[in-house]
Amino acid sequence: MTDGAPGTTAATARPPRGLSYNQVRILLLVGGLILLGVTAGVNYVRRVETAEVAAILFFIPIFVAFVFWDWKGGLLVAAFATAGYIALRYGAIHAIGAGHFTSLIFSRSIAFFAFGAIGGLANEQLKGSLTKLDLYDQIDDATGLFNARYFLQDTDLEMSRARRYQTIFSVALVDVPAAAFDDLGWRKRRNALRQLGRLLADSVRTVDRAVHARDVDRQRLAVVLPETAAEGAEIFTQRLATRIAAFLAQRGASVQESDIERRAITFPGDDGDMQLLREEFAEIERREHPEHPEDALVDGAAGPERRRS
């Protein structure tokens, strides 16, 4: 399977999209807090002046602020951190004069504001980049196949094409119970899903598009079959289910072929079933991409009309 419909090869060659922005933000926050805490602890052990150890700790609220509120939050908390540092030095300033601490206070305030501004701008850029990737993500992480979002977009286009050019297409759907993978360890389960993705990619034509989506209690495998009538789609679906059952049994999954649900849906013809299936995948899509769900793709409007509006 080396050529065919645009994006087909990407389903097996493109790496997973990786972490979302929220996940990256949590990792960034945890890592930064640990680093700042360790730095303050080392300076305390080395008997650095208490005020300077506290100055390091002032970077923590600035860090938290720009992670959640970008540069504006970083600068606001930097101002409070500067005031806090001056308050720590107030006793010494009152005792020996401000002149001895002017350069020290100035350098600390510059460090606070630079940390808040630069860190906030970097965080804002990171959020924009990862959000954009998440918005256009079409690849399933577990299998390397297309995901629920792609299924909605692709079937939307196929339905529009079928209406306009009087063509036909089908969807072969195979549902594997999620419990079938319970006896596998985490690593075996991950490898089985990845190999299942390769099996599915090798089982379809170059013009077909294979999709995987994880529902609450089942692993859903769908193949969009352009220019395929109901009879051909039914034969393909039965053979695919048999092959998947044998594949999983060889890898230790507790599943029988009779446990695997399968059905073929053709459009036009099974219009109601197609709409229900798309709504089910839309629900999966909302869970996978809560910030950018493809709700508009299941509103019943034809693709060209929706795009013009």
59 and 177 co-located in one domain: no
Quote the strand ranges of 71-208, DSSP E. Answer: 169-177
12 located within any domain: no
Buried b (16+ CB within 10 A) or exposed e, 80-104: ebbebbeebbeeebeeeeeeebeee
Last residue of a domain, one of 135, 150, 176: 135
If asked whether residues 175 and 254 sit together in one domain, one would say yes
Asked if 147 and 295 sit in the same domain, the reply is yes
Query: How large a percentage of the chain has pLDDT more than 70?
Result: 80
pLDDT digits (tens, 9 = 90+) for 197-223: 888 888 888 899 999 988 888 889 999
Kindly state whether residues 213 and 252 are assigned to the same domain: yes
User: Predicted confidence band at 232 (pLDDT cuts at 50, 70, 90)?
Assistant: very high
301 within a domain of the structure (yes/no): yes
Distance CA 276, CA 264 (A): 13
Separation in Å, CA 116 to CA 37, 54, 86: 17, 17, 18
Give me the sheet containing 209-214, strands edge to edge.
209-214, 218-226, 169-177, 261-267
Do 282 and 179 share a structural domain?
yes
**Residue 7 domain-assigned?**
no
Task: From residue 1, give the alpha-carbon distance in Å to each of 77, 166, 206, 207, 303.
Answer: 55, 28, 6, 9, 29
| In-domain check, residue 6 | no
Helix (H, G, I), strand (E, B) or coil at 273: helix
Q: 10 Å Cβ neighbour count for 169?
A: 24
Q: Rounded CA gap, 62 and 152, in Å?
A: 42
Same domain, 177 and 146: yes
Separation of alpha carbons 252 and 287, rounded Å: 29
Q: Which segment of 126-130, 164-168, 169-173 scores lowest on mean pLDDT?
A: 126-130
| Mean pLDDT in residue range 240-247 | 89
**Entry pTM:** 0.58
Does residue 2 belong to any structural domain of this protein?
A: no
| C-alpha span between 219 and 276 (Å, rounded) | 17
Q: Are residues 192 and 292 in the same domain?
A: yes
**Predicted local confidence at residue 309, as pLDDT:** 34
Residue that has been written with the tokens 């999209």 in this structure: 17
Q: Give the pLDDT of residue 137.
A: 67
Q: Three-state SS across 62-74?
A: HHHHHHHHHHHHH
> Where in the sequence is the domain holding 122, given as residue range(s)?
21-135
208 and 285 part of one domain:
yes
Same domain, 210 and 246: yes
3-class DSSP state of 291? coil
Same domain, 156 and 231: yes
**143 and 108, same domain (yes or no):** no
268 pLDDT more than 80: yes
Over the chain, what is the mean pLDDT? 79
Within a domain: 15: no
CATH number at residue 241: 3.30.70.270
Among 88, 107, 135, where does a domain finish? 135
* Residue 3 included in any domain: no
Asked which of 103, 135, 167 is the last residue of a domain, the reply is: 135
3-state secondary structure of 159: helix
Work out the pLDDT band at 266, boundaries 50, 70, 90.
very high
Co-location of 258 and 150 in the same domain:
yes
Which residues make Cβ contacts (< 8 Å) with residue 26, sequence separation at least 6?
Answer: none
Q: Is residue 225 part of a domain?
A: yes
Q: How many domains does the chain have?
A: 2
